[in-house]
Structure 1
């Protein structure tokens, strides 16, 4: 079926059921950001492949709500699909709810698959549309028209030994139960896959780029049950979990068990990380405590084993990045290099490193104007050759058995304009400003975001995405609860958190520049005013300085960059051959 045919088929079902509007979120029953193929509903219906969006269908309009990161991509991919792009004013905001309230007649019926809607979103829809007397139905209009829909993933899962992760499953369950007591919760439902992976020291391959496993957990004061496809874990793994007080049941059994929770008990549920369908199965006599998963905060603060292992992963990754930059610079004009072939070559360099499992996300290899698309992904249709001019942006990352990486570097290819040089220098200055900042305990991400943007604001420049996101330990490359963006999220930046700092400048039709390091929050000093924290730059890779306009930098930025490059050379050079070492020495020479 073509996209317009799929749209018509959905509308026919809506008409038969008396449904005025159908909502398709980008989610699965675990409210994941990255989805198994089985749940890639929006790409199936619309052809749009961006990772975050929402579709709303009525009988006379079909819209896809997406933010600034995807405007150009969506315009291109939605052409001829029957769907129109609706540009979000605020990133991650459900602005389509207001549109529905203004568009639908009072008493109209809205439908959505409750397995794909979070508790928070389901409640918000009911609350904001209550005055319209809106009716809601649980409907799946995609399964009847989705021929050869991909099956749920069946790859095996595995457990990581305690000594390689720094904390046992039993200790993690104890920490979660202590948090449950603080909330007076007798039970706790966990659906989010990264929390599941952390809690049970379990990894898998059910979702591209993220080493997670489709599973749920129900934790009580004395018991813990892992709901997972039975053949995903070996008998030894199940026995090891049993020693930690964990029983294993079938993936779908969670629905039945929730319906039989004891009356007058209480359950802790993260409204943003659990689906509306499971929430509605819980008996009304059970008190529902809506709070963030305790594991979300526990997971964000890395222990010493995780930190030290991540440092080793950064060395491996930095070697691969250095080899890649050298390869690009030495082969441009000698052999054809395209966006796709460059990304493939980078993967080969990473794959040669010990402990490499795979990429942590789809590599953004974006040449010239493609760099102005923050979430660009080269396709056979869009793929272009890299030439000896302009800028080549590469945002990539690796999953290693001992850490997760995420790094962006921009490679100047030659004949660069003054505008490119100025933009490059200001992005670098902003990245350094964020990395070198000292801040008091209790500082939140929006404050770091503003500090990082200041050098660009001085020139009336800005960027439409956040400055940084949390990063997991051999887990999701996007991890909360901390986030460096303009949203006033009251989550302090704590010791042991790993976060990205990645400012950018994007000029549509010209170029995009983003420079990114991952940083670890460390103790700095304590005085009469407060405990002060700082950042250790974990990422170890050269930053090209050939375009830098030194006069735009302050001495503190130059000093930071020179010290950073000295550290990069010291850490990476022992793992390079003589040619590579000489290249790195040139790239990290003092500014």
Structure 2
């Protein structure tokens, strides 16, 4: 397994591909075309065959969008990809614009009056499409669905084949519940919504519901496909026959009918008179259009697998604990390497990332990374989701900081952890800012909260120590994480943005406040934690949820200023380090274990 650092910094992508797309647009009478990053499954990470935005523009980030008009074009990316998008996209061919501030809707509001802008209904959720349609109408333009995507026609001769990785059972010893039991629960949830069936299009829902995993999507063990689940728990699962292994039919059982994806349109057309539940946030507009044309009654609602998947069962939680201990040992070996070998050799960011991957591979249990490793030295660490791409790679620098964020996919769990390390002797300013971030991290680790509390309501706790000193960070504090599934999983999250989903027992979230000094260095501390059942607090009146820490790896004590910590905060750091040594230490020996004992010594 190798890092998928993208070397695509060839500015000729737009010059070569835009004219071909415009020619196909003209054949369909279109003045413009929307090119979302998302594919037919609304995936964050894409198989090469579905990465339309990358083929069009060269931009390979996991979030973005494109708009092609007859005389101009634009690529949109968020703050995570500021450096990457400018390294990969030719500014002579594309305007490079912010995905969040204004984004595609604002661009469409300035479209030529009377313009007809095409969109592929398989690539846009109805909710997202409604926003884009309103924006186009403000300009006097119209959106028109296309039967065949002009970009796909232009790409045809060069387009990679669709992925066909084998779909394999995910054993109950990892899943914690049989697929039959899950299907019974989901069928009942469908009935409770007043529906006869649900259409599932999210690969993560298929993986969870049928206890299967695949390899169609990089960094996430997902099988691409669709399913129809009936209220009685029976189901039809649509998978490319090339992906169906010999063991799969027996694993799924008689209540699950395997069919090829080509059969899905006919199945939807046959749902006349039935009430069908489908998620407008996760499924594309094509499904809604098809069901309505067939005469089905569409019941809009959350994918019924979403919340059960997010609230992990005891087996999944224990598996995740074990995955993190194993991963913590690999990470500790890496941190020892950074603190010894790398302090002398000052490797490049890519060499740093490859070293971390090598230590994870040496566990013998790594199935994949959970995302491309973020390794930012000095100024690059101030870009929260920077990845080493050719034009921007730096070496470690004495007197600066190294920020490394990475994770692994293991059969029993998914990990994601960030550590910030001093290179050479840290400055007082670096220690101050690291400690302020640490104070916010501790606040989120120890908080207790009543049932019904959302991540949005907790977010300020992690920011308060920095707010009181006049600082802040511009990303969320925490995202949901799957169980040998996506490293980004909803609906739970901890962020300034309003999120109405209460935190439930068993939900796994990251805790990752940070601070970024543009042009100098960045700091982030990230661990994963799981929501614990509500329990009474001595002397209190209401039971309270809390968080159990899952990630164990030492913090860089050189960056901690104990004078800025309260006694309780110092006690937390000492207890966390003691637990790290107790859990990770038995997997280590020799000089690495000796180093860990020093790294975990009381403040």
Cα gap change, 1:2/1:359 in structure 2, threshold over 3 Å: closer, same or farther? closer
Match of 2:149 among 137, 140, 150: 140
Q: Does 1:117 align with 2:124?
A: yes
Cα deviation, 1:514-536, whole Å, max 9, x if unaligned, reads 11000011135337643211111
Quote how far apart the aligned CAs of 1:321 are: 0.5
Matching of residue 48 in structure 1 with residue 59 in structure 2: yes
Q: Secondary structure at the match of 1:22?
A: strand
**Secondary structure, counterpart of 1:583 in structure 2:** helix
Matched, 1:428 2:435: no
The answer on 1:546 being equivalent to 2:558 is yes
Match of 2:290 in 1: 281
CA deviations 1:111-160 (Å, max 9, x no partner) are 12222112322333345545647241315122233242111112211002
Q: Is the 8 Å Cα contact of residues 46 and 81 (structure 1) preserved in structure 2?
A: no
In the TM superposition, 1:525-564 aligns within 5 A as 525-526=535-536, 529-564=541-576
Partner secondary structure for residue 235 of structure 1 = coil
- The yes-or-no answer on 1:363 pairing with 2:373 is yes
Q: Which of residues 228, 236, 259 in structure 2 aligns to 1:225?
A: 236
Query: Which of residues 380, 384, 406 in structure 1 aligns to 2:416?
Result: 406
Give the superposition deviation at 1:299.
Answer: 0.3
* 1:281-302 deviations in Å (ceiling 9; x for gaps): 1144211111111111000011
TM-score by length of 1: 0.95
CA gap 1:418/1:60 in 2 versus in 1, 3 angstroms: farther
C-alpha deviation, 1:554, in angstroms: 2.2
CA distance in 2, matches of 1:394, 1:373: 12
Structure 1 residue 487: deviation in Å? 1.6
| Residue 459 (structure 2) pairs with residue 449 (structure 1) | yes
Task: Indicate yes or no: 2:585 matched with 1:573.
Answer: yes
Counterpart of 1:493 in 2: which secondary structure? coil
CA contact (8 A) 2:399 2:427 kept: no
CA distance in 1, matches of 2:120, 2:309: 30
> For residue 170 of structure 1, what is the aligned residue in structure 2?
180
Report SS of the residue matched to 2:510: strand
Residues 78 and 84, structure 1, Cα contact 8 Å, conserved in 2: no
- Mapped partners of 1:513, 1:72: distance in 2: 18
Q: Aligned Cα RMSD in Å?
A: 1.9
Number of equivalent positions: 585
**2:523 counterpart SS class:** strand
Alpha-carbon separation, structure 1, partners of 2:577 and 2:264: 51
Q: Secondary structure at the match of 1:356?
A: coil
Q: Distance in 1 between matches of 2:450 and 2:346?
A: 50
Contact 2:64 2:77 in 1 (8 A): yes
The answer for the alignment partner of 1:237 in structure 2 is 248
Q: In 1, Cα distance between the equivalents of 2:247 and 2:303?
A: 28
Q: 2:405 aligned with 1:395, yes or no? A: yes
CA distance in 2: counterparts of 1:458 and 1:253, whole angstroms:
59
Give the unaligned 5+ runs of structure 2: 1-11
Partners in 1 of 2:286 and 2:522 — Cα distance? 41
**Structure 1 alignment gaps of length 5 or more:** none
Say if 2:506 is the partner of 1:496: yes
Match of 1:101 in 2: 109
Which of 74, 78, 84 lines up with 2:89 in the alignment? 78
